[in-house]
């Protein structure tokens, strides 16, 4: 038990730019270490929690999955930094991003063709967009 000198969960969430429930979720799955608690059972976070949560939020914004972030957090620990290991995680993520970009480029072509067909048949009873979605 500690005195309430640190950050509340609400303040931690606000300073880190995440939802309060996200903080609890990251604690449950082990991305965030359990904080100290006051005598009344309230969580009390410190600046190390804020830095870690910001790291996790930024990783998620960049599209890294939970396990990749878990690996990157371990690699960010003092004495564990390894550019080769980080490169492996980042390289795998780069390949995933490039594959998604290729999928999105194909989707753009299909949607552009479908929307164009729909615009030329706007008053027709059959809709090319709906037909595309209903196709097996």
Q: Is 75 inside any structural domain?
A: no
Cα→Cα distances 3→25, 35, 40, Å: 24, 12, 10
CATH number at residue 31: 1.10.1660.10
pTM: 0.78
> Is the domain of 60 the same as that of 115?
no
> pLDDT band at 122, cuts 50/70/90?
low
Domain that includes residue 115, residue range: 90-136
CA pair distance 24, 50, nearest whole angstrom: 13
Give residue-wise pLDDT tens across range 31-68.
Answer: 999 999 999 999 999 999 999 999 999 999 999 999 99
State how many domains the chain has: 2
> pLDDT band at 124, cuts 50/70/90?
low
* Total Cβ atoms within 10 A of residue 120: 9
């Amino acid at each position: 038990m500690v005195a309430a000198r640190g950050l509340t969960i609400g303040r931690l969430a606000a300073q880190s730019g995440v939802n309060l429930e996200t903080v609890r979720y990251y604690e449950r799955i082990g991305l965030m270490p359990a904080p100290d608690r006051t005598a009344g059972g309230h969580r009390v976070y410190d600046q190390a929690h804020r830095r870690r949560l910001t790291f996790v939020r930024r990783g998620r914004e960049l599209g890294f999955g939970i396990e990749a972030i878990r690996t990157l957090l371990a690699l960010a620990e003092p004495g564990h930094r390894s550019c080769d290991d980080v490169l492996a995680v980042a390289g795998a993520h780069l390949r995933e991003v490039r594959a998604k970009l290729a999928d999105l480029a194909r989707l753009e072509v299909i949607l552009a063709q479908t929307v164009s067909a729909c615009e030329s048949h706007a008053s027709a009873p059959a809709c090319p967009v709906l037909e595309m979605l209903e196709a097996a």
